[in-house]
Structure 1
Amino acid sequence: MALFAVIGLGSFGGTVALELTNLNHDVIGIDSVKRNVENLADQISHAVIADATDEHVLDELNIKNCDAAVVAIGEDIEASILCVLHLKNLGMEKIMAKAKSRAHHMILSHLGISKIIHPEEDMGIRVAQSLSYPMVRRYMALNNERYIVKVEISSGLQGAQYQTIMEETHDIKTLLLQRGSHVLYEIAPGTILQEKDILIIEGPVDVLRQLSMRFS
Structure 2
Amino acid sequence: MAHFTVIGLGRFGIAASMELIYLGHTVTGVDRDAKVAEKNVEDFTQLLICDSTDENALKELDLANSDAVLVAIGEDMESSLLCTLALKKLGVKEIWVKANSRAHHTIVSKLGVSRIIHPEEEMGVRVAQALNYPMVNDYLSIGHGLYVVEIHIKQPLDGCHLGELLGPSKGKVDAVMVKREQETFLQLDQDFEIKASDILLLSGTRDALKCLAPRLS
Tell me how far apart the structure 1 counterparts of residues 183 and 74 of structure 2 sit (CA, whole Å): 43
CA distance in 2, matches of 1:31, 1:151: 39
Q: Is the 8 A contact 1:17 1:27 kept in 2?
A: yes
Offset of residue 161 of structure 1: 1.7
CA distance in 1 between counterparts of 2:189 and 2:114 reads 41
- Cross-structure match for 2:194: 193
Q: Distance in 2 between matches of 1:143 and 1:131?
A: 23
Q: Is the 8 A contact 2:10 2:74 kept in 1?
A: no
Q: Secondary structure at the match of 1:111?
A: coil
Question: 1:98, 1:53 → 2: CA distance?
Answer: 15
Contact 2:133 2:213 in 1 (8 A): yes
Contact 2:159 2:194 in 1 (8 A): yes
Q: Which residue of 2 aligns with 1:55?
A: 55
Tell me the SS of whatever aligns to 2:43.
coil
Match of 1:6 in 2: 6
Q: Which residue of 1 aligns with 2:108?
A: 108
Is 2:173 the partner of 1:172?
Answer: yes
Residue 133 of structure 2 is matched in structure 1 by 133
What stretches of structure 1 of length at least 5 have no aligned partner?
none
Alignment check: 8 A CA contact 2:172 2:204 kept: yes
Asked if the contact 1:64/1:87 (under 8 Å) is kept, the reply is no
The structural deviation recorded for 1:59 is 0.6
Q: CA deviation at 1:83?
A: 0.3
Q: TM-score, normalised by structure 2?
A: 0.96
Deviations 1:169-203 (A, max 9, x none): 13322111111111110123222221111111111
Alpha-carbon distance between aligned partners in 2 of 1:27 and 1:39, rounded to the nearest angstrom: 16
State the TM-score, normalizing by the size of structure 1: 0.96
| 1:146/1:89 CA distance change after superposition, 3 Å | same
1:199-214 to structure 2, matched below 5 A, reads 199-214=200-215
SS at match of 1:37: helix
Determine if contact 1:37/1:47 at 8 Å carries over to the other structure: yes
The range that moved more, 202-211 or 182-191, is: 182-191
Deviates more, 1:122-131 or 1:140-149: 140-149
What are structure 2's unaligned runs of at least 5 residues?
A: none
Deviates more, 1:37-46 or 1:119-128: 37-46
Q: Which amino acid aligns with 1:152?
A: H
Aligned position for 1:30? 30
CA distance in 2, matches of 1:151, 1:39: 39
Identity level (%): 42
Q: Partners in 1 of 2:70 and 2:34 — Cα distance?
A: 19
Cα deviations by residue, 1:40-70 (Å, 9 ceiling, x for unpaired): 2111201111110111111101113211100
SS, match of residue 56 in structure 1: helix
